[in-house]
Amino acid sequence: MRLAAGVDSSTQSCKVVIRDVDSGALVRQGSAPHPAGTEVDPEAWWRALTAAIEAAGGPGGVEALAVGGQQHGMVCLDENGAVVRPALLWNDTRSAQAADDLVRELGAEAWAQAIGSVPVASFTATKLRWLAEHEPENAARVAAVCLPHDWLTWRLRGSTDISELTTDRSDASGTAYWSPATEEYRRDLLTLAFGRDLVLPRVAGIREAVGHFGDIVLGPGAGDNAAAALGLGARVGDVVVSIGTSGTVFAVCDTPTAEPTGTVAGFADATGRHLPLVCTLNAARVLDAAAGMAGVDLHELSDLALSAAPGADGLTLIPYLEGERTPNLPDAAGSIHGLRLANATSAHLARAAVEGMLCGLADGLDALTEVGVPVSRILLIGGGARSEAVRTIAPAVLGHSVTVPPPGEYVADGAAAQAAWVLEGSEEPPRRVTQGTETYEAKPLPEVRERYHAYRDRAA
């Protein structure tokens, strides 16, 4: 049996799946947690990766491996390959002012034309500007910058040579200094952000072997959302809604997008196509917070939410608990509206949390359709999709039936599919048919979204 391993080094944890290359069957898997916080020493990712590989029964028999990872995180290395400071993650909003400055300096339309996106605090370039302005001593030591999955792949190769760093097109497209339209770095934009040029990872081919971990061939890896698209075998017409730490709504397309309001990021995918994407900062952890407030676990929260009436009898939760990225409100806070004696219950709170979180994603779906993304099928994945309440309420809020694949690690699966692809060298990546999907339908709830919009606009 030939085995391929896939890694999802995501915000909250590292997950490893090991699959049979020929049948696609899951052979073994493991995971390990990541530290909390929006600033993390990359060594913690390495420790979690090695622990997750061990938890998956070790690398024995694995012939190829690829790493999918949280996008955008700024990993700065000195000329000897040592990490200069803890990485700033995609959900760290301290570079919001730097993002505003960069957008003002070049213009939103020019950014969209140059890199397919208008940068917000998540994008790597804005973090580099923040570093240059706030930590000049650290900035002076930086010789190279890379992303979480680039760094882990390089560590697996055992390299300390910054000239050997590699990345892939999907993750490069979240830096704000790589163009999905021309497939080239925009070093002028890197210099605009940081004040000087840096060593950047070479952008590997979509099925290129970039090195070895022992005897194991390493694939180029991918950003986590692109890896999920690969793991699901998403086709044009499929829109993926992922409820993890981030909430993302994305689709595979043949042509690049360049949306100048910044709502839709024009990312690249991991197969040579494009991946327009909307991302919110507040998704599964809104449910974690609501469960904490109600003093229940996540299963009880789901039961509570389903026991309340649609619309939570007028209770509305705006879920900006960590500020927000879409809409771009990095300093916003969450809020609860319409509180009355009749709806001051844990059940109404639970329902309002699920509806509020989903309303943010429904806005993302609208934004994708506005740039011309076709919607034949909506696929719901991520830790939050394990909630029955989320699965049941999603079609009502999204206004479309929702297909839910069985709970699984679709990012790690996509990375494993890429690893198998590197071994096979076929034209297209291997597609695993997902068995056991369930489809959820519900009467749309436009009034819930209208009320949400009214309160959302007050938060702006």
Ligand X SMILES: O=C(CO)[C@@H](O)[C@H](O)COP(=O)(O)O
Ligand Y SMILES: Nc1ncnc2c1ncn2[C@@H]1O[C@H](COP(=O)(O)OP(=O)(O)O)[C@@H](O)[C@H]1O
Question: Which residues form the interface with ligand X (CB under 6 A)?
Answer: 10-11, 70-72, 90, 122, 174, 223-225, 244-246, 248, 277, 279
Chain positions 12 to 41 lying near ligand Y, rule: CB under 6 A, are 12-13
Q: Cβ closer to ligand Y: 253 or 283?
A: 283
Question: Is 224 a residue of the active site?
Answer: yes
CB 435 within 8 A of CB 24: no
The partner in contact with residue 177, picked from ligand X, ligand Y, none with C-beta cut-offs of 5 to 8 angstroms by kind, is none
Of 181-189, 208-216, 284-292, 313-321, the segment contacting ligand Y by CB under 6 A is: 284-292
Q: Cβ closer to ligand X: 11 or 316?
A: 11
Query: Which of the following is catalytic: 8, 224, 238, 288?
Result: 224
Copy the structure tokens of residue 350: 């639970």
382 binds ligand Y (CB under 6 A): yes
Closest CA to 230 of 22, 418, 3, 29: 418
How far apart CA 216 and CA 237 sit, in angstroms, is 35
- Nearest distance from C-beta of residue 245 to ligand Y, angstroms: 3
How far apart CA 120 and CA 129 sit, in angstroms, is 12
Block residue for tokens 């990345």: 167
CB burial readout 206-232, b (16+ within 10 A) else e: bbebbbebeebbbbbbbbbbbbbbbbb
Closest CA to 398 of 291, 253, 240: 240
Copy the structure tokens of residue 416: 């494993």
Chain positions 219 to 258 lying near ligand Y, rule: CB under 6 A, are 244-245
Query: Residue 73, SS3?
Result: coil
- Nearest distance from C-beta of residue 383 to ligand Y, angstroms: 2
- Chain centroid to Cα 303, Å, comes to 28
Q: Cβ closer to ligand Y: 34 or 129?
A: 34
- Nearest distance from C-beta of residue 139 to ligand X, angstroms: 23
Q: Cβ closer to ligand Y: 190 or 305?
A: 305
How far apart CA 63 and CA 42 sit, in angstroms, is 25
285 binds ligand Y (CB under 6 A): yes
Q: Any known ligand binding at 70?
A: no
CB 405 within 8 A of CB 233: no
Of the candidate residues 2, 386, 391, 431, the single one contacting ligand Y (CB under 6 A): 386
- Nearest distance from C-beta of residue 212 to ligand Y, angstroms: 27
Q: Any known ligand binding at 72?
A: yes
- Nearest distance from C-beta of residue 309 to ligand Y, angstroms: 21
Strands in 377-381's sheet, in edge-to-edge order, are 265-268, 274-280, 247-251, 238-243, 377-381, 402-404, 438-440
Q: Cβ closer to ligand Y: 198 or 357?
A: 357
The partner in contact with residue 71, picked from ligand X, ligand Y, none with C-beta cut-offs of 5 to 8 angstroms by kind, is ligand X
Closest CA to 115 of 188, 166, 165: 188
Q: Cβ closer to ligand Y: 86 or 382?
A: 382
- Nearest distance from C-beta of residue 61 to ligand X, angstroms: 28
298 binds ligand Y (CB under 6 A): yes
358 binds ligand Y (CB under 6 A): no
Of the candidate residues 112, 147, 216, 287, the single one contacting ligand Y (CB under 6 A): 287
CB 337 within 8 A of CB 299: no
Query: Residue 26, SS3?
Result: strand
Residue 192 identity: L
Closest CA to 282 of 239, 318, 331: 318
138 binds ligand Y (CB under 6 A): no
The partner in contact with residue 387, picked from ligand Y, ligand X, none with C-beta cut-offs of 5 to 8 angstroms by kind, is ligand Y
CB 381 within 8 A of CB 240: yes
- Nearest distance from C-beta of residue 299 to ligand Y, angstroms: 6
Please provide residue 267's backbone torsions phi and psi, each rounded to the nearest 5 degrees: -80, 165
The partner in contact with residue 414, picked from ligand Y, ligand X, none with C-beta cut-offs of 5 to 8 angstroms by kind, is none
Active site residues: 224
Q: Which residues are annotated as a binding site for substrate?
A: 71-72
Which positions touch ligand Y (CB under 6 A)? 10-13, 244-245, 284-285, 287-288, 298, 382-384, 386-387
